[in-house]
Copies of this chain bind each other. A is one copy, B any other.
């Protein structure tokens, strides 16, 4: 099978992206340290046409050379907002009728495969710091916790990989 050329990929222009009906998901980054991870999250957000990315606390914001290295231009298409604390972001989301889910390993978390949102349901998913994960006080403010089931020795996926897994899963469920 012949690989497609870039011109055959039916990629949206930035203005088509801005004008398109979005996947009704907001990705929230709770104090993510690595700028490479932030850039990679933008690239995934672009691929799945997400509503917005909320960058909180110490999470770096565009424009930034390190973010650009892995974002490869997707900070131009994907909308984003900065919040001083992740709790501020959660409160803002709740006021705007989003259900807010922490992606974590917690008591009675919903396994990702069992999470069944309705089509077009507005939801936000929070991913935590590389070492500390999502803060407990942020989890306490969430609607619920979703867990990516893991069966190995580490139970510690890279945060950009976790965003990819959750977005692919939700993209199929809410669009």
Contacts and interface: CB of A to CB of B under 8 A. Distances in A.
A1 B43 contact: no
Contact of A151 (B12, B104, B106): B12
Nearest to A74: B154
A145 to B, nearest CB: 5
B3 A152 contact: no
A47 B154 contact: yes
Interface string A133-175: 1101001100011001011111111101111110011001000
A5 B157 CA distance: 16
Given A1-B145, A4-B106, A153 B74 contact: yes
A97 interface: no
A157 B158 CA distance: 15
A80 to B, nearest CB: 14
A48 interface: yes
12 contacts: A1-B108, A11-B155, A43-B158, A46-B154, A47-B150, A48-B150, A73-B153, A73-B154, A74-B152, A77-B152, A78-B152, A160-B160
